[in-house]
Structure 1
Amino acid sequence: MLGEYREGEGGMKVAVPVKTISTLNAREHWSKKSARAKLHRSQAALALRVACVPRAPATAVVTITRIAPRPLDGDNLQGSLKSVRDGVADWLQIDDGSARVEWRYAQRKGAPKTYSVEVEVTS
């Protein structure tokens, strides 16, 4: 479900239903890569807006968790979540390089053929 919202201890979690792949190793046409990046970015921003999540505080820690059947190594994990990070930054109305936000990445095993991303924002 788009923008499934759960409030946690001092933060909030939103599920974003996108399938992330290792973009660093993908050999595909530039238009396909661009379309996927645009989709992931817009889905992340939309999920946070739809969930009626209040804006994050002046400083925040954002943890983006990839849920998939197989894990990625560290650099591929960050690369696969770059467009989601951009979407979260759009929602926060900041540049994703801002010192106001600390970005963290995680992953966990999901059921076969189950893919999503979880965004957690804490202060």
Structure 2
Amino acid sequence: MSRAVRMAILPLRIVSVSNLRECWRARARRTKAHRAAAAAIGPLPALPVVVSLSRIAPRQLDDDNLRTAFKALRDGIAARYGIPDNDKRIRWEYDQERGKPKEYGARVTICEVGTPDMFEASKGKR
């Protein structure tokens, strides 16, 4: 059985919003851009899926800031499916890649898992 995979590199600068001091308008503008970028991914594979979000940047973030930084993009992807981002049919994975100086982006990979039974079985293998 073949499984659908969708991969896209989005031209986003994923920053840690936890420690960022900025005007609410700037934050709202960035959040809107990240959610809109989810539309650029193209047709999505059928649920259940594993979504891997990888930040490309010269420096790394720690794990909790990485998850927070991807929140708006995660919400945008879940909204494309028409479900909340805590739905059990989507498993979220986070990673980072070292980019060149001033190179920023987000690699999004969405892999169809198959049947819900396969999704539950794959959770135990991690």
* TM-score (norm: length of structure 2): 0.81
Q: Which residue of 2 aligns with 1:16?
A: 10
Give 2:54's aligned residue.
65
2:70 aligns to what? 81
- Match of 2:45, SS state, is coil
CA-CA distance at 1:15 after TM superposition: 1.1
Structure 2 residue 86 is the aligned partner of structure 1 residue 97: yes
Aligned length: 110
Q: Does structure 2 conserve the Cα–Cα contact (< 8 Å) formed by 1:48 and 1:91?
A: no
Structure 2 partner of 1:27:
21
| Residue pair 1:71, 1:109 contacting (<8 A) in 2 also | yes
Please, what is the CA RMSD of the aligned residues?
Answer: 1.4
Unaligned runs of 5+ in 1: 1-8
- The residue matched to 1:31 in structure 2 has which SS? helix
How far is the alpha carbon of 1:93 from its aligned partner? Answer: 2.1
Gaps of 5+ in 2: 113-126
Local SS of the residue matching 2:13 = coil
Q: Which amino acid aligns with 2:95?
A: A
Aligned to 2:39: 46
Question: d(CA) in 1 for partners of 2:85 and 2:105?
Answer: 21
1:53-105 C-alpha deviation (Å, 9 max, x unpaired): 3x322201000000000000001101111111111112222211111100011
TM-score (structure 1 length as normaliser): 0.83
Equivalent position of 1:115 in the other structure: 104
Q: Larger Rg: 1 or 2?
A: 2
Instruction: Provide the rounded CA distance (Å) in 1 between the counterparts of 2:14 and 2:47.
Output: 29
CA contact (8 A) 1:63 1:106 kept: yes
Q: 2:47 & 2:31 partners in 1: Cα distance?
A: 27
Distance 1:36 1:64 in 2: 17
